[in-house]
With several copies, the nearest count.
Chain A
Amino acid sequence: MKLHEYQAKELFSRYGLPIPEGWLAKTPEKAMEHVGRRGFPIAIKAQVHAGGRGKSGGILLASNMEDAYKAVYSIHGMRLRTPQTVGEGPTVNKLLLEKGVDIDREFYLSIVPDSSTGSLLIIASAEGGMDIEEVAATHPEKILQVQVDPVMGLQEYQKRRVAYALGLTGELFASFATLLAGLYQAVLENDLLLAEINPLALTVDGDFFLIDAKAKVDSNALFRQRKIAAQYDSSEEDPLELEAQRHGLNYIRLHGNIGTIVNGAGLAMASMDIIQQAGAEPANFLDVGGGANEDMIEHGFQILLSDPHVKAILINIFGGILRCDILATGVVNAARKTGLQLPVVVRMEGTNAEQGRKILAESGLDLITATDLNDAATKIQELCLT
């Protein structure tokens, strides 16, 4: 779960990290009120989940009232399309206004749990700013990676390593070390999958400020991160994906017309591959997971049926922890409630598959049964041709 910039900054500031004075506004009028009261220079920043906002007009700096007015009204309500967004991009309906600071140097600093090294990885560079990915690609030696043992935690020598690599000594070392320790603590205590500050600015007065900040929280940890879970902003999400989330389903909407219901991410991806190999396009990725119950199956089915693009459905289940009888009951209930009109190819194997097939057969519903994966692919192909 991604946090907005203003949420991430609020979170980090609770760990003593220095953020510029800022004010959130939900309307252009409120934004202009803040501008009028706070003076210049002031930054106007779109609060949407879109990397690369700066280059795409989502962040503007104003040094007088006229510029500020233009900036506020151009950003608020815009659809922000950046290299990292999908489709037309999200609509901006929240602005963060921030007092400008007098920047001397810009650093890059992030912490991520890194599975390949089994560490909490600190990534830092003296070449902060918008083009850090390019620095990583062209000058990897300018990027320091420090692996923190997740059990030992951040050590003093690691703070020194990062600070000295960034050229920070003396008093700057001390304030940077405190900042880094705070960021590390924030990552740990909030189950962050990403904490990124770019740029971390050093002002001409020798003060650090988080100019931009990103944070992403482990969705698997929301059971113990209630406060963060409550900050979830669903306004940018696809309504069907939201509906799926509510029922614990892993659903991603795509652009094709063959809906899929599969258990297991690997088999779901492979099923999409099969649909494409059959000459059609998958309408979605939908992994009902291992612990699915009747309700979840039923809701997954309903979500597919409410996508107008879906012309046919492939159900591909290989039962392990998810028993086929449970799946079958869910499908039957959903088909009855929705008055199913679409062709549905069902392929079912594994735990309690016999019982599952029996439930489907006795339901009186008009379902197309596939004997194996090859057969299912053939039947999908036939549906596409008709």
Chain B
Amino acid sequence: MSIFVNQDTRLLVQGITGKEGQFHTLQCLEYGTRVVAGVTPGKAGQEVAGISVFHTVHDAVQETGANASMIFVPPPFAADAILEAADAGVDLIICITEGIPIHDMLRVRRALQGSSSRLIGPNCPGIITPGVCKIGIMPAHIHRPGSIGVISRSGTLTYELVDQLTKAGLGQSTCIGIGGDPVNGTGFIDCLAAFAKDEQTTGIVMLGEIGGTAEEAAAVFIQEKVDKPVVGFIAGLTAPPGRQMGHAGAIISGSRGSATAKIAALEKSGVHVYQELGQLGAFCAKTFAT
């Protein structure tokens, strides 16, 4: 088992004809992901690596039965691409695009409430179940099938961890980059809930960073609902305080959001927090072995 993706995942790629879209479509295909369609408005009839391109997601879904979408559409058009995928009934939408305006994402997130579509991202590396299905831009070769679930706000930090896990002999059930933007789709809690129920997963690693309060909320959830061991890491312990956003930000968040606050919240919930990134894989091996 795994979460969110499996051998029945049929992928379409929005923005498949762009440079990055093409490159990563090929990488996903090589990994064995069932890429069944591409979408670029105005380019129906073309092909990318043997994959048919359609004008619209609706056409692609109708013709190919795609149930997941990977989005490489540029920021000005990315919110629309997400809404299009959801409207076409795509179950899982992975938006790689970075730099989508926050007002666009607020509207998207509200529109998706009550929808049956799950959004991962934007500004994320994607999701991979090693050996089965890769949707995203993560380097494939560092992953190994196994039983550790990985959730992260940061792309490259995830690669770093996964590489260490694999080298330490720990394979992964599913690795999810939820994205670094303030407004995103699937969050820590959704992933934690899914990993908690997933039989294959025996341990979870959660990579957070400063800003927002998602880690604090996740800590509460872990304490109440997650029985599996969880290792945590927070990036940004030595980062200078963020630039001030006027009073309003301070009024909303108070003193929450700092690395120290997050680490404290996680430790209070029984999460094994470890801040030496270079030895994080080794620490996981030790922690999950007990």
Contacts and interface: CB of A to CB of B under 8 A. Distances in A.
Note whether A and B contact each other (Cβ less than 8 A).
Answer: yes
Interface of A: 51, 84, 108, 110, 112-116, 118-121, 123, 132-133, 136-137, 143, 145, 149-152, 155-158, 160-161, 164, 169-170, 173, 188, 191, 193-194, 196, 198, 214, 216, 218, 220-221, 223-224, 252, 254, 262-267, 269-270, 272-274, 276-277, 282, 285, 289-291, 317-321, 323, 349-351, 353, 372-374, 377
Interface string B43-72: 010000000000111110000000000000
A84 B247 CA distance: 11
A136 B250 CA distance: 9
B-side interface size class: 35 or more
16 contacts: A112-B248, A112-B249, A115-B183, A164-B41, A169-B42, A188-B103, A214-B246, A263-B156, A269-B236, A270-B277, A273-B235, A273-B237, A282-B238, A290-B123, A320-B138, A321-B137
A121 B77 CA distance: 23
B182 A264 contact: no
A328 B102 CA distance: 33
A173 B44 CA distance: 14
A242 B110 CA distance: 35
Contacts of A145: 252
B83 A155 contact: yes
A349 B106 contact: no
Nearest to A85: B244
A266 B42 CA distance: 37
B80 A156 contact: yes
A220 B156 contact: no
The CB with the most chain A CB atoms within 10 A, among B76, B102, B125, B275, is that of: B102
B207 interface: yes
The SS class assigned to the A binding surface is mixed
B247 A349 contact: no
Given A133-B247, A164-B41, A289-B98, 17 more contacts: A112-B245, A112-B249, A116-B252, A120-B106, A136-B254, A156-B77, A160-B56, A214-B246, A218-B101, A220-B101, A266-B180, A266-B209, A270-B235, A276-B238, A291-B20, A320-B156, A350-B139
Contacts of A121: 248, 252
B156 A252 contact: no
Contacts of B155: 264, 266-267, 290, 320-321
Interface in B247-290: 247-252, 254, 275-279
A137 B252 CA distance: 10
B111 interface: yes
The CB with the most chain A CB atoms within 10 A, among B96, B110, B235, B249, is that of: B235
The CB with the most chain B CB atoms within 10 A, among A266, A272, A291, A351, is that of: A266
Given A113-B103, A120-B106, A321-B96, A350 B125 contact: no
Given A114-B252, A161-B56, A194 B137 contact: no
B199 interface: no
B75 A220 contact: yes
Nearest to A110: B248
B24 interface: yes
Contacts of B225: none
B277 A150 contact: no
Interface stretch (B5-13, B157-165, B188-196): B157-165
B227 interface: no
A220 B102 contact: yes
B202 interface: no
A244 to B, nearest CB: 15
A196 B246 contact: yes
B98 A291 contact: yes
Give 5 closest A-B pairs by Cβ, nearest first. Answer: A266-B154, A264-B156, A157-B84, A221-B101, A115-B182
A164 B138 CA distance: 34
A272 B278 contact: no
B240 A254 contact: yes
B212 interface: yes
A353 B152 CA distance: 22
Nearest to B160: A318
B148 interface: no
A252 B236 CA distance: 14
A168 to B, nearest CB: 11
B157 A196 contact: no
Nearest to B277: A270
Contacts of B236: 266, 269-270, 273
Contacts of B153: 266
Nearest to A287: B156
B80 A116 contact: no
A254 B275 CA distance: 22
Contacts of A317: 156
B32 interface: no
The CB with the most chain A CB atoms within 10 A, among B102, B235, B251, B278, is that of: B251
B91 to A, nearest CB: 18
Contact of B245 (A193, A223, A270): A193
